[in-house]
């Protein structure tokens, strides 16, 4: 019956698949890289960055667009680097407007350019 000895006792040195116990076979925790936190994409330059490095904008359910300082407001979110080059590029390409599906008011742009 299977790969076990006839006496019914299991072989202690190997698993039924022929691997040594503790050799990492099937041990998913050893194969995973360390968690670095959530990664998001800037809508202007399309570079990935940690969530802490980006500014989150949110289109609220009522359709207004605001800067989400907490990162937890409900609604559709989009991320942008705080670098002046990314801000200018996003404004020029209307990337933030497209990502959120709503126009970004001038007050929001002036708020982040400070």
Q: Give the pLDDT confidence score for residue 17 in this predicted structure.
A: 63
Q: What is the per-residue pLDDT for 34?
A: 76
Domains defined for the chain, CATH in brackets: 39-112 (3.30.1230.10)
Alpha helix (H) residue ranges in 1-114 = 28-31, 84-93, 95-100, 106-112
When pLDDT is averaged across residues 80-90 and rounded to a whole number, the result is 96
Contact 100, 93 (CB under 8 A): no
Tell me: pLDDT of 23 over 60: no
Report pLDDT for 33: 66
Residue entry with tokens 């937890």: 72
Task: Indicate the SS3 state at residue 20.
Answer: coil
């Amino acid at each position: 019956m299977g790969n076990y000895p006839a006496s019914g006792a299991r072989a202690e040195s190997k698993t039924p698949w022929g691997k040594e116990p503790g050799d990492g076979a099937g041990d998913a925790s050893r194969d995973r890289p360390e968690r670095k936190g959530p990664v998001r994409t800037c809508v202007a330059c399309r570079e990935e960055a940690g969530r802490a490095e980006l500014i989150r904008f949110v289109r609220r359910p009522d359709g207004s667009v605001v800067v989400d300082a907490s990162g937890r407001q409900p609604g559709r979110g989009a991320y942008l680097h705080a670098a002046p080059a990314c801000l200018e590029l996003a404004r020029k390409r209307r990337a933030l407007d497209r990502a959120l599906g709503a126009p970004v008011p001038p007050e929001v742009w002036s708020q982040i350019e400070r």
